Structures are given as C-alpha cells and as structure tokens.
Amino acid sequence: MTDRFEPAGESAFSEDRKPAATLRMVLRTPQGVIGVTIVAVFLLSALFAPAIAPYDPFQINIPDRLQAPSLNHLLGTDQLGRDTFSRILYGGRIAVQLAGIAVGLSLAIGLVLGMIAGYGPRWFDNLMLLLFDTIRSFPTIVMAMAVVSLTGPSLEMVMAIFVINAVPGFGRIARTQTLALRNTEFILAEHSLGASTALILRRHIMPNVVGPLLILAAMDVPVVITVEAGLSFLGLGVLPPTPSWGSLLNEGFRILRDTPWPVIAGGLPLIITTLGFTFLGESLRDVFDPKLRKEP
C-alpha cells in the first residue's frame, strides 16, 4: 500500500463503515461530491415531481405539439403536445422505480444465489456457474423478445429482463467474495465455535459480501435505464403513455429529423444521472475497496 498512509493500528477500512461515515468519506473527493449531488437531485426531483412539474405529463395538447424549448415549455413539447420537461421529471420517478426494484431484486437474488454457491456444496456452485454462463450466452434480444411476446411490454417486463441478465453479474461477485471469505480465519473461528451455516451466512458473510455488490448496484442503475431505452427502441419497452426516459428517447428518435429536442432532452438526464451514479459508485469503491472491479 503505497497509495495511502495508514496510521498504526488502523486498517485501510479504518474509521467505520457506518453509512454516515461512509458518506463523509465519499464527500471528501470532488468526484464524490458531484456524484452525491447528482444522485440527490435525481432522487429529490423524482420524489417531488408532482410539485415541480409545470404541466401534467399526460395532458395531450395537439395544437402545441413539437415545440422547441421556450419559457412556457422549458424543454419543448412532444408529438402529442405534452411538456417534455414534466415528462422527464415524471420519467425520473420511473427510473427510480426501475433502478430501485430491478437493481434491488438483482442484488438480492444474486446475493443469495452467489452466497450459497460460494459456501454451499460443490455441485450447487457448479450448477450456479452453469446457470450464470447459460444466461450470458443466451442472446439477450431473443430473451427480451420472448418475454415481451408472452406478456406484452411493460415496466415489469423491462425489470424482469434486466434482472435475468443482471443476476449472474451480482451472483458471480457474491460467489467470489464468499469463496474468498470461506477460508478466512474469522469464518474458521465461527466454525470452531460450532456456529451453524445459516448463522455464518447471515451474520458473518452477508455483511461482507453486500458492500461490493452495492457498488456494482450503483453502477448498474444507469444500465437499467439504457437497457430500457434500447428495449423501447425495439418496441419492447414500457407501456405508453408512461413517460420513461427510454421511451422519451425512443419517441424522440422517431421524429429526430423534425426536431432534435426530444432526443436531447431525453438523453441529457440519462447521461447526467449515469455520471452521478458512476461517480458515486466509484467513490464508494474507493472508500470500500480499491481492489473491486466491475464485472461486465
């Protein structure tokens, strides 16, 4: 460790891992400040969208359609004359939902499967690896189309497709971490005390595995939104008139030659939010563990 100085008796993990302290550490770098700010604005604007939005995002107003940005409509209007700025604000709510539920679910499933794979019997580990590899080898597009064909496109389906594809990533990291922990002294120490597997997994392995996964989760948030945009492009996205960022981008793309505003307006929040989450994710990674790498 030539990178940082460690005062005696404290490890690289020093201070504590309490959320408040972690936040303090993150806020000590410009990158962290930007990340936290953007993510905070993202969450707040989603939460208070009804209060901030100047228009009803669903209000169709044909005469005002396809307007360029103006004081009336900060980011212009779409094909149905709806206010793009309001739709983006509400889209943020969708994004929060998508991110929260889809990423959260992937994390939870990946965590459980990964931990059992890493700690449990060899055959289960092999089975999980096989499952993860199979999912990865399966063309995502075909999977998405199959799922959507079955049920029609919806937010839930976008989430389901994301979860199916993201679980292997989380699972692999959880597994690797668990494998690494499995032979550490403190786990051995728990064994020597006669602790049950469930107790060891729940209390001693999970808290150590979940940290790296949270970092991956932060970095996956923008990925969900881009996935949603891509699926919308292929007509496999969310239900209209839901103002998701992906569908905004996709709708904008269709009328790009007439007006570039919807694409710009739909793309900017996506890029900014991605930057925010990535910065936050990387800061978290720097705080928790510089060694962790994101698996693609």
Partner 1 sequence: MARPVLAVRHLSVDFRTLRGRVHALRDVSLEVPPNKIVGVLGESGCGKSTLINAVTGLLANNAEITRGEVIFEQADLAKLSERELLKVRGEKISMVFQDPMTAQNPVISVGRQMTDTLYRHRKLSAGEKRKLATGMFRKVGISDPEERMDQFPHEFSGGMRQRISIAMALMMNPDLFIADEPTTALDVTMEAQFIHLLRELQADIGCAVLFISHNLGLIAELCDEVVVMYAGEVVEKGPLAEIFFNPCHHYTRRLIECDPSRVLDRSAVLPTIPGRLPNLTRLPAGCIFRSRCGHAIAECATKSPPLLAVSETHSVACFNHASLIERPAGGRAPRLKSNASENPVLEVDGVHVRYPTGGLIRRLLRPDAPRHMDAVIDVGLKVAEGQTFGLAGESGSGKSSLGRAIMGLTPAKDGSIRFKGDEIRGLPPREFKRYRRAMAMMFQDPVASLSPRQKVRRLVMEPFEIHGADGRDLNREAENLFQMVGLSREFFDRYAHELSGGQARRVGVARALALRPALIIADEPTAGLDVSVQGEILNLLRELQRELGLTYIVISHNLPVLRHVSDRVGIMYLGRIVEQGPTDRIFSRPAHPYTRALLDGIPRPDPSMRRKLESIEGEIPSITNRPPGCEFHPRCPIASDLCRAVPPAATELNQDHVVHCHNPLQGA
Partner 2 sequence: MLNYALQRIGLAIVIVFLVVFALFVMIHFIPGDPVAIALGPRATPEIEARFVAKMRLDEPLYMQFFAFLGGVLQGDLGNDIFSERPVLTILFEALPYTVILATAAMAWSAALGIFLGCFSAARPNSLIDRITGVVSIGTITVPSFVVSIYMLIVFAVFLKWLPVIGAGEPGNFWDQARHLILPAFAVGLGWVGYVARMVRASMLEVIGENHIRAARSFGLPHRVVVYRYALKVAILPTITLLGIGFGNLLSGAVFAEIIFSRPGIGKLIFDMVMTRNFPVVQGGVLVTAILYVATTLTADLLAAAMDPRIRKSL
Partner 3 sequence: MTHSKQGLSRRGFVAGAIAAGPVLATLPNATIVRAQGKTILNARLQRDITVLDPGYMVGGTEIAVQYAVMPRLAHVVNESGTFTWAPSEYMAALSQDDPTHISFELKTGFMWTNGYGEFTAEDVKYSLDRMLVSDWKDKWLALDRVELSGPYSGTIVLKHPSPAIWLTTITAGAGNLVCKAATEDAGGQYTTEIPATCGPYVIAEWTPKQRLVFTRNPDWPGPMPDFDEVRYILVDDDTAAELAYEAGEVDITRVAVSSLPRYTQNPPPDTNVTVAGHLQYAWLGMNTEHPKLQNEKVRQAIQHAVDVDSIIQAAYFDNAPRSFGIVPPGVFGSRSQASFGYDPAKARELMAESGVSGLELELKTLNQQARIVSAQIIQANLADIGIATKIIPLDSGPFWSLGRESKGDEWMDAQIWIMRFGGALDPLDYFQWFTSEQVGNWNWERWTSEEFDEIYQKLATETDDARRLEMISRLQEIMDESAGYVWLQHEPEAFIHRSSLNPVIVPTGEYDFRRFTAA
Contact residues: partner 2, CB under 8 A: 1-3, 29-31, 130, 133-134, 136-143, 145-146, 149-150, 222, 226, 229-230, 233-234, 249, 253, 256, 263, 267, 270-271, 274-275, 278, 290-291, 293-294, 296
Task: Round the CA-based radius of gyration of the chain to a whole number and report it.
Answer: 22
Buried b (16+ CB within 10 A) or exposed e, 121-140: eeeebeebeeebeebeeeeb
Alpha-carbon distance 266 to 273, whole Å?
A: 12
Using the rule CB under 8 A, is 130 a contact of partner 1?
Answer: no
- Which one of residues 51, 63, 150, 185 is an interface residue with partner 1 (CB under 8 A)? 185
Complex with partner 1: residue 118 or 153, whichever CB lies closer = 118
Segment 191-210, which members bind partner 1 (CB under 8 A)?
A: 191-196, 199, 203-204, 207-208
Q: Tell me if 276 sits within 8 A of 96, measured CB to CB.
A: no
Complex with partner 2: residue 32 or 200, whichever CB lies closer = 32
Q: Tell me if 16 sits within 8 A of 24, measured CB to CB.
A: no
Residue 138 touches which of partner 2, partner 3, partner 1, none (CB < 5 to 8 A by kind)? partner 2
Q: How far apart, in Å, are the Cα atoms of 288 and each of 17, 22, 25, 40, 255?
A: 8, 8, 10, 21, 45
- Length reported for the chain: 296
Helix 140-151 with 155-182: angle, nearest 10 deg: 130
Complex with partner 1: residue 137 or 192, whichever CB lies closer = 192
217: CB partners within 8 A, 6+ apart = 103, 104, 106, 107, 170
Residue 139 touches which of partner 1, partner 2, partner 3, none (CB < 5 to 8 A by kind)? partner 2
Residue 79 touches which of partner 1, partner 2, partner 3, none (CB < 5 to 8 A by kind)? partner 3
Peptide linkage before 139 cis (omega within 30 of 0): no
Alpha-carbon distance 88 to 249, whole Å?
A: 10
Residue 8 touches which of partner 2, partner 1, partner 3, none (CB < 5 to 8 A by kind)? partner 1
Kindly list the residues in this chain that would bind partner 3 in the complex (CB under 8 A): 58, 60, 62, 65, 79-81, 145, 148-149, 152-153, 235-236, 239-241, 251, 253-258
Kindly list the residues in this chain that would bind partner 1 in the complex (CB under 8 A): 2-5, 7-11, 13-17, 25, 28, 184-196, 199, 203-204, 207-208
